[in-house]
Amino acid sequence: MTILLRWPSLYKRFVDIRDRVAQLQPIQFRYHKDIDPEQKLRAGFSAQQVAQVFPDAVVEIDGYLFIKNDVLGGYIKAARE
């Protein structure tokens, strides 16, 4: 509890991250046949939605949005703690 009193802005950032992670809605999807010929059903997050909540966790390449898994994973890990 002492830590929270000494660094209230740090505490606020962690609460903010938890709230932001909670905004993400998991989806199920299949990649296009060019990417995954078997078209396995997968679960994850929409890059468009992640971009709205964590813009730094997404990169655009050739007009497509891709999630930076290491960045998003860091946010999710921080939200769990």
Collapsed DSSP state (helix, strand, coil) of residue 44? strand
pLDDT of 38 over the 50 cut = yes
Coil, strand or helix at 42:
strand
Q: What is the DSSP letter of 27?
A: E
Quick one: 58 exposed, middle or buried, by C-beta within 10 A (0-12, 13-18, 19+)? buried
> pTM for the whole thing?
0.73
Question: Three-state DSSP class for 73?
Answer: helix
d(CA 26, CA 15): 20
Phi, psi of 46, deg, nearest 5: -75, 130
Over residues 23-51, mean pLDDT: 94
Average pLDDT over residues 31-35: 88
Query: What's the total number of domains in the chain?
Result: 1
What pLDDT does residue 1 have? 43
